[in-house]
Each structure stands twice: as structure tokens, then as C-alpha cells.
């Protein structure tokens, strides 16, 4: 059963990965941010979706000729055709960008199937074309060689590591212009509720700093007047 309701998705689209990282850290979760995966283009709203995973291992050459792509059950091809609409395809490319995790044709197919985004700790070929898609895409750097040269697609929708982050199928992935982060499925509602509150306070702090106020007593809110001012600000802003 999906943990990502339409309301939670909408809220998470306006919450930064930085705020989510802090909320997760408070619960002792320090490795949820996907390292070395940046968006190919600037995003106006955060990418949000449940993780559907693809795992690569080092290629064994006798099992990984180009002919394997003819197999409809090839793990990479199957992932592209079965990743659910609204989900994020998360790829464990072993942190190796020397060969591509996917290219523009597969990324376009994901977009047209309604997938919310794609994230790899490796690279994409056709990166310029992928950057022009509506669907957000995150990777380490461009990579022209086919994945077959170094990586062997081995399994889909299993627990993986992507950019040093543990990713379980059904976890919620949020990506913004800083990168992508993974929220464990059982914590999504709790983390989102806290992050909404944190975001409101952070917006208040930014406005206060722009008005010339010191951060002492303001951030964190150790001064009683800060709490009074924040309550008044929320009332005015309807937040």
C-alpha cells in the first residue's frame, strides 16, 4: 500500500532536501542524502515519488554482450517498462560514472509513462537531451559509453545503495536543486509534518535576517520574543 498520499506529495514538493535532512538527522538517520547526484536542470518544484529500484553489479563480459538488450526481461529494460507512474526510478550504478546508467531514449520512455523522476549515482549518456525533458533527472556526470561496458543490470525493486544512501522499494525520494534524499516509508508522514513546520519557521527567519535582525536568539529560537514574533508572522501569512 502506498504511503505517499496526494496531500503528502504536494507538501513535499515545497520542502527542501536540507530541511528534510535535518528532520531525519534528529532521528539518528545520517546517510539518507544521495551523494554525487545532481539535477541536470534547475527545478522549480521538488521531485517527489516512491522509490522503484534498479541494481547493477560489475559486468561479467561473457554475460553482458550488446545482444542482451534483445531480451524483454533484461533488468534495465524491465525497470523502464514497469516502474510505476508517479514513482522515482533509483539506480545503483556502484557510484561509477564511467559507463552510462541510461540514455535519452529510456529516460523519455519513463517520462511518457508518467514516472516522477530518475536518480543514479552513476552517469547518463545523452545528458543534454535528458536535461530538456519535463521529468527531473539526477546523476553524477555525463558518460557516453553504454552501461554494458562496465555494469550488468541484475535486479529490480530490491534494496540498494545509491550514492551511499540505503534505498528500499517504497521509500520516498525527494529531489531539489541541492540533490536527492530518501525518506524511509514508515517515517514519511511524520517527517513531512515536522518539515512543514520547519519550513515555515525558516521562511520567517530568512525574512527577519533580510530585515537586518541578528541570528542570535532568532536561529535557533532561544529568545522568547522570537516565538512571539513568529506566531504573529504565521497569523499574517496564514501559515
Whether the pTM exceeds 0.75: the reply is yes
**CA-CA-CA-CA dihedral for 175, 181, 183, 189, to nearest 10:** -40
2 CB-side CA count, 13 A: 14
Tell me, what's the pLDDT at 114?
A: 98
- pLDDT truncated to tens, each residue of the chain (239 aa)? 688 999 999 999 999 999 999 999 999 999 999 999 999 999 999 999 999 999 999 999 999 999 999 999 999 999 999 999 999 999 999 999 999 999 999 999 999 999 999 999 999 999 999 999 999 999 999 999 999 999 999 999 999 999 999 999 999 999 999 999 999 999 999 999 999 999 999 999 999 999 999 999 999 999 999 999 999 999 999 99
d(CA 175, CA 38): 9
d(CA 185, CA 73): 28
The DSSP-derived string for the chain is -----HHHHHHHTTS-HHHHHHHHHTTT----EETT-EESS--SS-EEEEEEEEEEEE--GGG--GGGGG-TT-HHHHHHHHSPTT-EEEEE-TT--SSEEE-HHHHHHHHHTT--EEEESSEESSHHHHHTSSS-EEESS---S-GGGTEEEEEESS-EEETTEEE-TT-EEEE-SS-EEEE-GGGHHHHHHHHHHHHHHHHHHHHHHHTT--STTTSS--SHHHHHHHHHHHHHHT-
Tell me, what's the pLDDT at 1?
A: 66
Cell of 140: 553524477
Tell me, what's the pLDDT at 2?
A: 83
Tell me, what's the pLDDT at 119?
A: 98
Amino acid at each position: 500500500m502506498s504511503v505517499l498520499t496526494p496531500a503528502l506529495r504536494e507538501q513535499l514538493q515545497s520542502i527542501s532536501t536540507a530541511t528534510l535532512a535535518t528532520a531525519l538527522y534528529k532521528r539518528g538517520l545520517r546517510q539518507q542524502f544521495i551523494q554525487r547526484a545532481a539535477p541536470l536542470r534547475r527545478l522549480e518544484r521538488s521531485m517527489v515519488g516512491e522509490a522503484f529500484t534498479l541494481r547493477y553489479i560489475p559486468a561479467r563480459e561473457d554475460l553482458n554482450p550488446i545482444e542482451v538488450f534483445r531480451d524483454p526481461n533484461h533488468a534495465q529494460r524491465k525497470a523502464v517498462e514497469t516502474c510505476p507512474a508517479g514513482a522515482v526510478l533509483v539506480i545503483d550504478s556502484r557510484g561509477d560514472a564511467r559507463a552510462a546508467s541510461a540514455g535519452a531514449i529510456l529516460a523519455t520512455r519513463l517520462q511518457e509513462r508518467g514516472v516522477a523522476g530518475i536518480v543514479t549515482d552513476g552517469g547518463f549518456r545523452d545528458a543534454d537531451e535528458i536535461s530538456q525533458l519535463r521529468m527531473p533527472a539526477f546523476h553524477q556526470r555525463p558518460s557516453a559509453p553504454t552501461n554494458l561496458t562496465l555494469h550488468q543490470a541484475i535486479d529490480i525493486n530490491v534494496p540498494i545503495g545509491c550514492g551511499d544512501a540505503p534505498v528500499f522499494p517504497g521509500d520516498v525520494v525527494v529531489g531539489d536543486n541541492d540533490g536527492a534524499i530518501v525518506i524511509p516509508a514508515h517515517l514519511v508522514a511524520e517527517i513531512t509534518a515536522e518539515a512543514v513546520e520547519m519550513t515555515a519557521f525558516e521562511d520567517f527567519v530568512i525574512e527577519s535576517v533580510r530585515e537586518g535582525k541578528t541570528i542570535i536568539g532568532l536561529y535557533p529560537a532561544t529568545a522568547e520574543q522570537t516565538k512571539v514574533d513568529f506566531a504573529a508572522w504565521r497569523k499574517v501569512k496564514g501559515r
